[in-house]
Each structure stands twice: as C-alpha cells, then as structure tokens.
Amino acid sequence: MNASGSYDDWRGSGVIETRHSPHFRLQSVPVRSVKMGGGFWRPRMEANVEASIPAQHDLLEEHGVMDNFRRLTGSQQAERLGPLFTDSDLYKWIEAVGFALQSEDLPELQQTVAALADLLASGQGEDGYLSTYFVEEHADQRFQQLEGSHEMYCAGHLMQGAIAYYRATGDQKLLDVACRFADYLDCEFGPDKCAITDGHPEIELALIELYRTTGNKRYLDLAGFLLSQPQSLQNLPPIAERPELVGHCVRSGYVCSGGADYYAETGDERMLANLKRLWDDLIGGKIYITGAVGARYAGEAFGDAYELPNARAYAETCAQIAHFMWGWRMLLITGEARFADVMETIIYNGFLSGVSLAGTEYFYSNPLTANTDAASTHPSAEGGWQRQAWWPCTCCPPNVERTLASLPGHLFTTSAEGIWVHFYDACAAELGLDDGTAVQLQVETAYPWEEDIKITVNPAAGAEFALMLRIPTWAEGAAVLVNGEPAAENPKTGDYLALQRTWQPGDTVELHLPMPVRFTQSHPYVADNHGCVAIQRGPLVYCFEDADNPEVPVRDLHLADDRLTAEHWQAERQPELLGGVTVLRGEGLRPTLSLQDGPLYRPATIRQATSWQRVPVAAIPYHAWANRGESAMRVWVPVLRSTAAS
C-alpha cells in the first residue's frame, strides 16, 4: 500500500499529488505552504472558514444528511432524507474542511470530521460498500441503476474528502474507508466484470488521486477502465474519443479532469490530444465571458457552439468548478498559460459570483442578465432572486467551499525550471526547488484592483532558477523590474515570462500589469450579444446593476460607440462598497422613453424614433452582483452610434 512512499508524506502533497506522476510538467505545492496575506482572497477564505463551512455543517445536519449515516449504524431511526446523491454533499464538505485544515488549525472542525470518520467507518458495509440510499428497501438496487444512482459519484467524493482530510492531519481512518470502498468497486467493476459506468463521472479523478495517495495501482487501472467506457447515462463516447463537448457540463468537466489525470500517470497521448481538442471547443464557442459553462437548463448541458444565452445561462457554479479543475490539470501537464488564463477568468467571475459576500448564500445558476420582472428566470424562482443557503440539489455550496479552501495550493508550482507564479495575490509561500533548496516568496499586491505586484524572493541561499511569471493575455504593456531594474522588454502576454538568474535573499520583482478598462465583443454568431459589448478590467468582468445606476434602468441601458475607449472611463476604488471593489464610471445612454412600451412586433424603422440622453453610469465586478437585494443586472450592453445620442 505504500509502494510509492507517498502514504507517509502527507504533508508534502498538493491539491493534486504530482510528485510520482511521470507526465506532469509542473509540481503542485502543498496548500499549507502558502499563507494568504491581506489581499483579495483572504476575506473570502476567512468567510469560508468562519461562516460558510460552519453554516453548511448545520444545514447538512438540519436536512438529515448526517442522520442518513446514523441510520446505517442504528443510532438514528428517522426516515432517510434528501436526494439519493446527498451523501456527496457531506463528502464535499469534509473535503472543504480538509483543505481548510491544511491552511490552519481548526480543532473544532477537525474533531467534527474525526467523529464523522468514525460514523462512516461504522456505517460502511463489511464488503466496503457505503451508501445511505441503497440499503433496506433499496438494497437490491445496488449497482442496478448506475445511470442515475450516483453511487460511484458519491464514492469519488468520499475519496476526495478522505484524501484532503488525510493530507491535513495524517489521520488515515477516513482514507481507509475510502480505500475499502475503492477495493470493493475494483472487485465488482472491470473488463471481465461489470462494465457499466456511473452516469455522473467524478470517481475517475478521485480514484487516480487515491492511487497517488496510496500507491495502489489498481485504483488507477479501475479509473482507466471507467474512462474507456461510454458514458452510460448520456450515451456519450469515452472522453478520449468524444468529438465535442456535449451533454451535462459538470459531468463533462469532471470526466475531462479524470482523463487529464489518467494522461499524467500513463502518458496516453490519444487522451491528451483529445482533451486539447475539447478545450479548444470550450474556448472556441462554449464558455461565457465570465468563465461560466453551460448554456442549457435542459440537461444542465452544453449548447451548440455560440449558443450562449445570457438571461437563461445555466452556468452552474459546479460546472465552473469542474472546468477550473480541468484547467488546473491541463496547466500542470503543459505549463501553458492559456489554461491559467481561463482558470483566472473562472475563479474571479463565474465561480466567485456563486457565493455571496457573506459566504452563506449560493447561486446554482450564474446568469449574465437578470431582469427584476423575470419571475421564473432562475431555478431559485420560488425564493426570488437571491442566492440561497440551501438548495433541493445542494451540490454547489460545499463545492464552492472546498474550492475556496484549496485556492492557496493553486497559486504556485515548481518544475525543473524553477518556480511558477500562476495567480497573483498577497501571500507568503515556502517552496522548494528540485534540488531541495528552500525558497520563500513574499507577494504584496492589491490585485486585481491594482496593477502592481511586488514579489520578494528569499532563497535559503543564493540559487539559480527561473521565476516564471504569468503575463495574462489582457496585460498588454506589462513591465517587470528586478531589484528596481527593467528585467524584460515587452513581455509576451498569454505566456510565462522566465526570469532566469541567481536569486539572492531579498531580491525583489516588481510586476506591472496594466488594467485599462477594456471593451469586448463576442463572436457574431452569439445571438444574444449581437451589437453588444462587455466591459472588463484586468481579470474581472464587469456588470451594470440597477442599484448603482439611478439614471437609467439597466434593461434600457445602451452605450455610445464614442465612449468605448479607456480614457472615457474611470476606475474608482470604493473600499466601503461590496466589501471593497473598484467601480468603473463612465457614460451610458438612456432612452428618453422607456423601451418597455410598445408591441412585441412592429414595423422596422430605419432610424430609431427614440432619442437618447447621455447619463452617468457605474459598473461593478460581476462577481459582486446580487448582494444588495433584487436589482436588474446585465453584462452585455448594446452599443449605439454616437450620432444617435444628444
């Protein structure tokens, strides 16, 4: 069980254990090695640990999710509650705690998970099977309805939760539960055994991580077998053969992640080539500007290329997370900045919108347009517009929590070249080079609000290596100083800038990433965005919300083409607003008569009869919307020729 030696070195594992994988170019670093400073993410991570995770625990308890497990041990007789896959909500919550414990001591949470580990161990069958649903009157349905039963999906989340907790504490109890379940699955499923796969992939990446954690190659082989099978529920070809992204987005994101993990272990080039093709399909026509994924409510699915409705964006928070995870694996495999670019878009926009500033409410869907009279636009329709603390299918909240808690493990990697900086936030990191040299990095920045990032490099002693700095695609005109001297001319955007030198303790790097206000249009085939622009600054997508725009209902808002340049807009840091955001102020157009009047269809007039007035408008970061009650919002705004405006 300990062939790779990794079982004993739980402190050294990153979000993904990369140290024994032959095909990862980059090595992940432990979550615990990066301490977040007073930057963008720390308040979010504090809210996660102080508000989100405790509140989610209580909600899981309240909704009977723990009691479901207590039924297995006979300590609770109440009826089982929740959807059949709700075990996974607890497992994801355990994973969130596991990552949080990798950053800091949280004795109470640790005790809670330890007790849960006991509960799960007691509830687990002799054979290793564990499910709160497929027992008693459903016992004979075990593995009989895999298309919809989520049994392997839940098992996968159990494995991930167990691994995160193990990497936090070294406590193997839950990991043993996960391994027993994995062993049982390995007995039941395989080439000469049952060949049906779970309708909801997820277990593939979990099995491979369990292999990385334990060294038990049967887990890798089982993952490989499952990946080689058609995806049962949706009748989709195996991911290595799938010609395009179709069907359920979360499932797709997880199975692509599992495929990437499989490549990293096996070097299966056919898998990698197809994953790159699918990534191109994603970026070419199936991802929102916010990094959100999923056009269709029906089937929670990808649309066709360019099918990206704004108000009816499905854009499930979990789908964003699954694609962030896929991107992370592709980045570790290739070291190509294009994957980090998309991860950054996701994490600051379509992911982060999924949770309220307070950390206690969550969106399931993350639309790009919202209208206050849209009674039924969101799945949250019954409860109005607001994010909700709990959903009937409450997969997103613990998924957000585990992702936020794991963030420090994503900022840096190491490689033969040296140290890579993928994402910029204030922090202190204790990293190690391949030769064992310890390097401490101090990052000071108010990114993404501000354009400057200062990195102090402190190797234990002078050491030659490259500091690989990601220059985001949007950062035209980036500049770098090392110890106050220009260190690179016109660094290429959408790539890593390699600062190769012998670094001495106290060396400083000053990176300047210009953040002019940018105006973006989409491919003309995106019907919803025809004639519209979106506003961006740095990695952030902005939106207009009624709350900030008393002069014009955002549903009527247009922009004048003569104001679509950075100099017409001011970026204004507002520490009191929405936890402290940078607001963009400029001029919009308001129709003198509300657009809402008039018939659904009317004769086309060549010139608009409506006249337009220029009015001051303000845009906020998209991720911060819907934190002030119901307020119409839009990301994409139609543009008028300036000649139309008075």
Report in angstroms how near the CB of residue 309 gets to its own copies at its nearest: 6
Element (H, E) at 36: strand 34-36
Distance CA 627, CA 356 (A): 6
Q: Which two tokens stand for residue 619?
A: 């845009």
Report in angstroms how near the CB of residue 364 gets to its own copies at its nearest: 13
Report in angstroms the alpha-carbon separations of 171 from 110, 185, 349, 541: 10, 23, 35, 41
Indicate the pairing of strand 637-640 with strand 559-560.
parallel
Residue 619 CB contacts under 8 Å (≥ 6 apart), including other chains: 535, 542, 543, 544, 548, 583, 584, 585, 586
Report in angstroms how near the CB of residue 560 gets to its own copies at its nearest: 10
Distance CA 416, CA 500 (A): 12
Whichever of 154 and 526 has its CB closer to its own copies, that residue is 526
Report in angstroms how near the CB of residue 520 gets to its own copies at its nearest: 5
DSSP type of residue 49: I
Where along the sequence are the contacts to its own copies (CB under 8 A)?
244, 246, 283-285, 287, 289, 296-298, 303-307, 309-312, 369, 371, 373-377, 518-528, 530-534, 555, 561-562, 564, 595-596, 598-606, 638-639, 641
Whichever of 166 and 314 has its CB closer to its own copies, that residue is 314
DSSP type of residue 349: I
Distance CA 460, CA 490 (A): 31
Whichever of 39 and 285 has its CB closer to its own copies, that residue is 285
Helix axes 249-266, 203-214, angle to 10 degrees: 30
Whichever of 131 and 310 has its CB closer to its own copies, that residue is 310
Residues paired with residue 355 on neighbouring β-strands, in sequence order:
362
344 and 539 Cβ atoms separated by less than 8 Å:
yes
Report in angstroms how near the CB of residue 595 gets to its own copies at its nearest: 5
Whichever of 161 and 539 has its CB closer to its own copies, that residue is 539
Residue 148 CB contacts under 8 Å (≥ 6 apart), including other chains: 199, 233
Report in angstroms how near the CB of residue 545 gets to its own copies at its nearest: 17
Distance CA 128, CA 119 (A): 14
Indicate the pairing of strand 633-634 with strand 369-370.
antiparallel
Burial (0-12, 13-18, 19+ Cβ within 10 Å), 171: middle
Report in angstroms how near the CB of residue 344 gets to its own copies at its nearest: 14
Whichever of 261 and 281 has its CB closer to its own copies, that residue is 281
ω before 448 within 30° of 0 (cis)?
Answer: yes
Whichever of 145 and 377 has its CB closer to its own copies, that residue is 377
Whichever of 502 and 596 has its CB closer to its own copies, that residue is 596
Report in angstroms the alpha-carbon separations of 592 from 119, 473, 532, 553, 589: 65, 39, 20, 12, 9
Report in angstroms how near the CB of residue 33 gets to its own copies at its nearest: 34
Whichever of 484 and 600 has its CB closer to its own copies, that residue is 600
Whichever of 155 and 564 has its CB closer to its own copies, that residue is 564
Report in angstroms how near the CB of residue 379 gets to its own copies at its nearest: 9
Whichever of 307 and 452 has its CB closer to its own copies, that residue is 307
DSSP type of residue 80: P
Whichever of 118 and 562 has its CB closer to its own copies, that residue is 562
Report in angstroms how near the CB of residue 546 gets to its own copies at its nearest: 15
Report in angstroms how near the CB of residue 541 gets to its own copies at its nearest: 10
Report in angstroms how near the CB of residue 521 gets to its own copies at its nearest: 4
Distance CA 268, CA 261 (A): 10
For 78-85, which contacts have Cβ atoms below 8 Å and span 24 or more sequence positions?
A: 80/132, 80/133, 83/392, 83/393, 84/133, 84/134, 84/149, 84/150, 85/150, 85/153, 85/154, 85/200, 85/395
